[in-house]
Amino acid sequence: MKNTLNKILVMALVAFITSACASQDRFIVHHTNGTVLDTKTNLMWAAKDNGSDVNWTGAKSYCENYAAGNFKDWRLPTSEELAGLYNAQQTREAPCAGNFNIHMTTELIQVTCFAAWSSETRNADASLYNFIYGRQDWYLRSHTYGMRALPVRNNK
């Protein structure tokens, strides 16, 4: 009887842990090709951004020419897609500016500063997503300080 009760308890514990982990394991890292798959949105992200300040035109070019995983359909993400990476409860220091904290859903995607360009434009401005405040902002396309390019593609 005691042995049966122990087995039931262990099975219940395993089921609980498995379901809890499954709900949180949203991101899958593909170490061999430098990508991270978001299973919630079915978007494949570059595992890291471009690593330095870049204007919007440079960010767009970087993303369109990105070649991780032998895929050729990389692009700048939309602000909405970048917003899906924001989580106010997750805090880490912005590597480019230690006096700022960024809020990213996962540490598997390495963002080296506090904002990433997005694909939306209007006149001379382009949209960015700010990972400090969790919002879309607009700057001149020529702006570079703190701006990064983070390639994304639809995982078909």
pLDDT-above-70 percentage for the chain: 84
For the whole prediction, is pTM greater than 0.85? no
* Of 1-5, 29-33, 108-112, minimum mean pLDDT range: 1-5
Per DSSP, the residues of 28-86 read EEETTTTEEEETTTTEEEESB--SS---HHHHHHHHHT--GGG----BPPPHHHHHTTB
Pair 153, 76: CB distance under 8 Å: no
What is the reported pLDDT for 30? 74
- Phi–psi pair at 69, nearest 5 degrees: 70, 15
Tell me the C-alpha distance between 121 and 3, whole Å: 65
pLDDT of residue 46: 96
pLDDT at 99: 87
Residue 105 has pLDDT above 70, yes or no: yes
For the chain, what percent of residues have pLDDT higher than 90? 74
CA gap 94, 85 in Å, rounded: 15
**pLDDT score recorded for residue 7:** 44
CA separation for the pair 45, 110 (Å, rounded): 10
3 state SS of 1: coil
Amino acid 5: pLDDT: 44
- The pLDDT score that the predictor gives to residue 2 is 54
pLDDT at residue 26, rounded to an integer: 85
Average pLDDT over residues 23-41: 81
Map out the domains of the chain with their CATH numbers.
27-154 (3.10.100)
**pLDDT on residue 62:** 98
pLDDT at 152: 98
How large is the average pLDDT for residues 60-67? 97
At residue 15, does pLDDT exceed 50? no
